[in-house]
Chains A and B, each alone.
Chain A
Amino acid sequence: DGGITQSPKYLFRKEGQNVTLSCEQNLNHDAMYWYRQDPGQGLRLIYYSQIVNDFQKGDIAEGYSVSREKKESFPLTVTSAQKNPTAFYLCASRDDGFSEKLFFGSGTQLSVL
């Protein structure tokens, strides 16, 4: 199946710990995004990457880091500097055609122990 795969579905972080969320796509899309979703709020952009080996900070990048070494993969690390990491994290890739359609993964729920 073509699409975006996020793992794990659920993740728990201990105090002072860094955790990494995986995002893999087989849609051959150049652009990929990481969003954070909190109850009652719209999706907020953490990081985005338009092409391999390039990425830009979004609106709420503090406490997060990313890498884009391969076109298919865009992992997100939630560092210990992120003091309120509990949220639903969504990875997306963008159709390179006219539609600019975003394709989303099924999300990772991160909670703090």
Chain B
Amino acid sequence: KNQVEQSPQSLIILEGKNCTLQCNYTVSPFSNLRWYKQDTGRGPVSLTIMTFSENTKSNGRYTATLDADTKQSSLHITASQLSDSASYICVVSRSGTYKYIFGTGTRLKVLA
């Protein structure tokens, strides 16, 4: 079954600290993996995309990794800011289809 699982479900950190979010998937055939940020009551916004051949990709304070062998991805946030408080969703697309498999998200709260 094609699934995407994320952990932790929720996370609270202090401003300025780092954190890492995890995503495990069993989607096949794999096309790419995206991390989205969703603010409360808003639509998700893409942060990064990882293809099969990529191991690491950065976007400012966000760094995503992908291990295609173990089917795991992580999103590392450096020097967190209050504006990082949001849900982070891992999304995997299947090759040859127009469908996407969504994780349930990690809800991050950054405290001052």
Contact = CB atoms under 8 A, between A and B. Distances in A.
A34 interface: no
Interface residues of A, number: 26
Contact of B98 (A6, A42, A94, A106): A94
A105 B43 CA distance: 5
A42 B106 CA distance: 11
Contacts of B56: none
A48 B43 contact: no
A11 interface: no
A53 interface: no
Interface string B92-112: 010000111111110000000
Contacts, number: 51
Contact of B43 (A40, A41, A104): A104
Contacts of B101: 42
B1 interface: no
Interface residues of B, number: 22
B46 A102 contact: yes
B89 interface: yes
B11 to A, nearest CB: 15
> Which DSSP category, helix, strand, loop or mixed, fits chain B's interface?
strand
A87 interface: no
Interface in B41-85: 41-46, 49
A101 interface: yes
B49 to A, nearest CB: 6
Nearest to A58: B99
B26 interface: no
Given A42-B103, A88-B41, 13 more contacts: A4-B43, A42-B89, A43-B89, A44-B102, A48-B99, A50-B98, A100-B31, A100-B93, A101-B34, A101-B46, A101-B49, A102-B100, A106-B43
17 contacts: A6-B43, A31-B98, A35-B102, A40-B104, A42-B89, A42-B101, A43-B102, A44-B102, A48-B99, A88-B41, A90-B43, A94-B98, A99-B32, A100-B31, A104-B44, A106-B43, A107-B42
